Amino acid sequence: MSLRRRAATRFPLTVCVALWSSAALCAGPAQVTGDMPLAEYARHAEGKEFYGLYLFGSKAGWMVDESRVADYQGKPVFENLIEMHVELKVLDSRKKSDHTSVTRFALEGEGAIVSVVETDVEDGASVEREAAREGNRLRITTRENGAASERVVPLPRTTLQQTRDAEVWLARRPGKGETFRTHEISLDQDKVETEQIMEFIEAVPLVWGGVPVSASRVMLNQDGGRIEALLGPNSKLLRGTVGGALEIRAEDEAIARAQGGAAIDMLTASAIKVAEPLGDGRLITGLTLELSGLGDFHVPSRGRQRVQPLGNGRALVQLSREADAPEPTRLSRKEREYFLRATPSVQKDDEAIRKLAAEIVGDEKNPVRIAARIVDWIAGNIRPTYAADASTATAVLRQKAGDCTEHTLLFTTLARAAGVPARQLGGVVYSDEPSPLFAWHAWAEVHDGQGWITVDPTFKQLRIDPTHLQLGVDDGDDMEGNELSWVNILGAVKIDVRKVDRGRQ
């Protein structure tokens, strides 16, 4: 289950699942030990829990986690079933997302994964992924709109024994700062397996359901994204928070499933408001911003974006227009291959994608002019809307609609199909509507052989204007594995506009 997804309008659906899943070890009456047989531990871990999902203090959805011993292909297995439902609003568009998954573990050996089935439904579009173990490998089949594709990956290190050992580690009350490492599986990601680090913070005495209990406060870290979790007896998740935006609460079923009032408007709720309007970003030649509430997050400093740390979670950022000649950043052969690769979402080898890329590019060889042609095609053929979420490039091409995430995903895919290294970026961009604010946004970069050049296919910009503030490299294209660190500042970061330089293009 994945932490990653390409913009803040849909971030909660995946952020909460993967970070949360390792913490939500089910409760039982037995004392778990490191030598407890997996069949016995599986019985101990059976149970069903309900959770409410809250964004910026408002109810956004619910989650159900059920674990049980079941029969699969004539053998007993341990099944973990997760259901999640999220309802959001973006301006006038209402968005519904549903995720269901069933992960089965063997009850012999280390309890390796036997099979996984995941289904994601966003705005009516459905993608199903099924993984089946074949020796020391997993064969993953993805079905979308009647088409199926397969890939084979090494068997992940995610095991039932690992879950048992994590519970044993936590029960012995480790010292502050001690860590335990586990692994998570994400079928929709290029990198199927991700390491997760659980850090012990402190023991917390509290009363839960009228009963005094001893809980544990831990920090879970996966690819830079963090969740602070409160775990009750036998590691049951009681509460978890992600940055200043998302909260997960253990609740009774009726309370958890109750949707509450009107759906929260994610664009407005997640935006960073500023005091005065800046006007047309295309007429801005330079922008100086003071950021606060960053904690230990490091704003990337490069090219058009220069960052001066000020201490205490603050930084001064100077944004300028991108120079015609990019900052020299040569790609190694390995890096070039990385930014040309196909992934489960960037399906650059799909026949329809390759055919379209060839039609758009024609005989053009210059990477910058290729990018411009792709931007023009997207602007003329992809209808802008917040009501058409898609998690794959082929889905975007099929529905020919979407917001910045769909525009950027399709652009990146077509660029790679045309032989131009490309990657997706994430951050915020200024808007006068509905009030002066910086809204979460996605755009891209292409490499012209000398350096990276920014592209915003949503706003039809080649070399973006200075109102774009980059905070991360999106969708798994961060080779350092820190692409999720930006989620830690959601709801906490503030922007003070210190200086605006204006001119004409």
Asked if residue 148 is part of any domain, the answer here is yes
Question: How far is Cα 417 from Cα 144, in angstroms, rounded to an integer?
Answer: 20
Question: How far is Cα 212 from Cα 433, in angstroms, rounded to an integer?
Answer: 49
Structural domain of 399: 272-502
Strand-pair category, 246-250 with 47-55: antiparallel
Tell me the average pLDDT across 480-490.
76
Predicted local confidence at residue 295, as pLDDT: 93
Q: For residues 140 and 168, state if they share a domain.
A: yes
Q: Is the pLDDT of residue 16 over 70?
A: no
Q: For residues 477 and 401, state if they share a domain.
A: yes
In terms of pTM, does the model score above 0.85?
yes
Q: For residues 454 and 368, state if they share a domain.
A: yes
Single residue among 257, 280, 312 that ends a domain in this structure: 257
Which residues, at least 6 apart from 201, have a Cβ–Cβ distance to it below 8 Å?
A: 176, 216, 217, 218, 219, 228
Amino acid (1-letter code) at residue 188:
D
Assign 384 to helix, strand or coil: strand
Q: For residues 58 and 163, state if they share a domain.
A: yes
Q: Is the pLDDT of residue 97 over 60?
A: yes
Q: Is the pLDDT of residue 312 over 50?
A: yes
**What does the pLDDT look like over 409-441, one tens digit per residue?**
999 999 999 999 999 999 999 998 888 999 999
Q: For residues 155 and 277, state if they share a domain.
A: no
Single residue among 257, 287, 309 that ends a domain in this structure: 257
Asked if residue 444 is part of any domain, the answer here is yes
Q: For residues 287 and 167, state if they share a domain.
A: no
* CATH code at position 412: 3.10.620.30
191/293: higher pLDDT: 293
**What does the pLDDT look like over 455-467, one tens digit per residue?**
999 999 999 999 9
Residue 481's Cβ-count burial label (10 Å; 0-12, 13-18, 19+) is middle
Q: Is the dihedral of CA 431, 227, 24, 206 positive or negative?
A: negative
Asked if residue 266 is part of any domain, the answer here is no
Q: Tokens representing 359?
A: 């039609």
Concatenating the DSSP letter of every residue in 154-202 gives: EPPS-BHHHHHHHHHHHHT-PPTT-EEEEEEE-TTSSS-EEEEEEEEEE
Element (H, E) at 128: strand 125-134
Residue 214 — pLDDT band, cuts 50, 70, 90? confident
Asked if residue 407 is part of any domain, the answer here is yes
Residue 83's Cβ-count burial label (10 Å; 0-12, 13-18, 19+) is middle
How many Cα atoms within 13 Å fall on the side-chain side of residue 60? Answer: 28
Tell me the average pLDDT across 277-293.
93
Asked if residue 187 is part of any domain, the answer here is yes
Question: How far is Cα 166 from Cα 160, in angstroms, rounded to an integer?
Answer: 10
Concatenating the DSSP letter of every residue in 34-59 gives: TT--HHHHHHHT-EEEEEEEEETTEE
Predicted local confidence at residue 158, as pLDDT: 94
Amino acid (1-letter code) at residue 363:
D
Strand-pair category, 461-462 with 179-185: unpaired
389/308: higher pLDDT: 308
Question: How far is Cα 197 from Cα 115, in angstroms, rounded to an integer?
Answer: 24
Predicted local confidence at residue 210, as pLDDT: 78
Question: How far is Cα 479 from Cα 114, in angstroms, rounded to an integer?
Answer: 29
**What does the pLDDT look like over 241-264, one tens digit per residue?**
988 888 999 999 999 998 766 778
Assign 487 to helix, strand or coil: helix
Predicted local confidence at residue 476, as pLDDT: 55
Question: How far is Cα 197 from Cα 64, in angstroms, rounded to an integer?
Answer: 23
**What does the pLDDT look like over 218-244, one tens digit per residue?**
999 988 889 999 998 778 899 999 888
Asked if residue 350 is part of any domain, the answer here is yes
Contact 473, 424 (CB under 8 A): yes
Structural domains counted in the chain:
2
Element (H, E) at 153: strand 147-154
Rg of the chain in Å (alpha carbons): 23
Q: For residues 243 and 278, state if they share a domain.
A: no
Q: For residues 204 and 341, state if they share a domain.
A: no
Question: How far is Cα 63 from Cα 70, in angstroms, rounded to an integer?
Answer: 21
Predicted local confidence at residue 334, as pLDDT: 94
Residue 469 — pLDDT band, cuts 50, 70, 90? very high
Predicted local confidence at residue 3, as pLDDT: 27
Q: For residues 130 and 161, state if they share a domain.
A: yes
Question: How far is Cα 143 from Cα 1, in angstroms, rounded to an integer?
Answer: 17
Q: For residues 229 and 333, state if they share a domain.
A: no
Residue 265 gets which letter from DSSP? B
Three-class secondary structure assignment of 299-362: CCCECCEEEEEEECCEEEEEEECCCCCCCCCCCCHHHHHHCCCCCCCCCCCCHHHHHHHHHHHC
Q: For residues 341 and 388, state if they share a domain.
A: yes
Asked if residue 388 is part of any domain, the answer here is yes
Predicted local confidence at residue 243, as pLDDT: 81
Q: For residues 278 and 253, state if they share a domain.
A: no
Question: How far is Cα 414 from Cα 338, in angstroms, rounded to an integer?
Answer: 15
In 403-483 the beta strands, taken as DSSP E runs, fall at: 422-431, 437-447, 452-456, 461-462, 468-473
Single residue among 222, 257, 292 that ends a domain in this structure: 257
Q: What are the backbone angles phi and psi of residue 319, rounded to the nearest 5°?
A: -110, 135
Predicted local confidence at residue 310, as pLDDT: 96
Predicted local confidence at residue 146, as pLDDT: 80
pLDDT cut 90: percent of the chain above it:
66
Asked if residue 134 is part of any domain, the answer here is yes
